[in-house]
Structure 1
């Protein structure tokens, strides 16, 4: 009975470790921080994208603009020519790689087969056992993805909304992380000034962002709007 309990516990531990090391998660969590002086109405939400010199004629920039434009459209924004736009929308983005070291236990069996407390048996642990012999440090890469969206009034240059979305994980591609960043950044628009919230986006079987189920919750100790689910 004791061995059975050890076996079940070890199986649960190994399953949990396998899940963590595989990088497979049900949700992508993104931290969103917003600064706002927003007073625009639905009838005045016309905009054009503003590009820095190094973003001109940039295919990556165009791809990210399409993602952000899709999310802006859900908040009644209409993309128009520069001369007709009331607002200018500027994007900034990037990815950073860090190494994270995790200590993992190493197990051993003090009663190796073919004997267990004096009785012949098959050792279910192989070369290992249910008792920790020590810890081994394993290092893994972790990637941080960032998207910043800045909205200004075209006529005056006044900044009226600035939001930053940031998430981390095993994903090494910024382009694959960008749909989550874009949707999270504009979830609950417009957030209050100084709002900080964590947005959880479910991942479907193809790794894409579903068309609904955006759950947002305010971070502890920070002003934010109430938790929302965007459809």
Structure 2
């Protein structure tokens, strides 16, 4: 094999790997608030569940499992059993589906919708089989001082897409929410997280 061809194959392989990495990167919109004390270490934590999260059908335990690696990456450790934690962590998760109208897309003509409309009475995307859905996914993390009950840090991370997302995506949202910790950035900004 010639050196020129070998170089070309190597560059093609690198481009393919780069493309795969881009597909596994999640861009997350993040906002964080609070004033974490400069002299306070991350310390230990325990989760707190709201009354609605104590319902047997609640997925609170699953969310806690997915948020734990993000808390650990931010420097927190779970409080040992029987030991009071330094901070109390409250989690919130929202996943909502939005059905899109075919007229939400200003370029809906690309599907020859007017021709379909004239023949069959509706544009193709208005048919139940062609309904588009977008899923809005958001997580919230609130850290409170256990002794005073004072909120110290709050973060929200959101993304949207064509699926509800699985556990890996939700874990990535928690990771993005705590990526700036302990610095607060109230202005919306994008955090990129590599999916496994």
TM-score normalised by the chain length of structure 2: 0.67
User: Which has the larger share of strand?
Assistant: 1
The answer to whether structure 1 residue 46 and structure 2 residue 38 are counterparts is: no
Instruction: Measure, in 1, the Cα distance between the counterparts of 2:43 and 2:61.
Output: 21
Matched residue SS, 2:62 = helix
Structure 1 unaligned regions, length at least 5: 1-23, 108-135, 203-208, 211-231
The residue number in structure 2 matching 1:85 is: 85
Deviation at 1:56, TM superposition (A): 2.5
* Post-superposition offset of 1:185: 0.7
Give the 5 Å matches for 1:30-179: 30-39=28-37, 41=39, 43=41, 45-56=43-54, 60-80=59-79, 81=81, 83-100=83-100, 101-102=104-105, 103-106=108-111, 138=125, 139-173=131-165, 175=167, 177-179=169-171
The structure richer in helix per residue is 2
Secondary structure, in 3 states, of the residue corresponding to 1:69? helix
* Structure possessing the higher radius of gyration over alpha carbons: 1
Structure 2: any 5+ residue segments left out of the alignment?
1-21, 113-122, 126-130
Contact between 1:95 and 1:144, CA under 8 Å: does it hold in 2?
yes
Residue aligning to 2:12: none
Q: CA deviation at 1:42?
A: 6.5
CA contact (8 A) 1:67 1:182 kept: yes
Deviation at 1:175, TM superposition (A): 4.1
Q: 174, 185, 194: which one pairs with 1:182?
A: 174
Q: Which has the higher contact order (CA 8 A, sep 6+)?
A: 2
Using the TM superposition, name which of 179-188 and 50-59 deviates more: 50-59
Q: TM-score, normalised by structure 1?
A: 0.58
Q: Which moved more, 1:85-94 or 1:44-53?
A: 44-53
State how many pairs are aligned. 153
Structure 1's consecutive aligned runs of 4 or more residues displaced over 6 angstroms after TM superposition are none
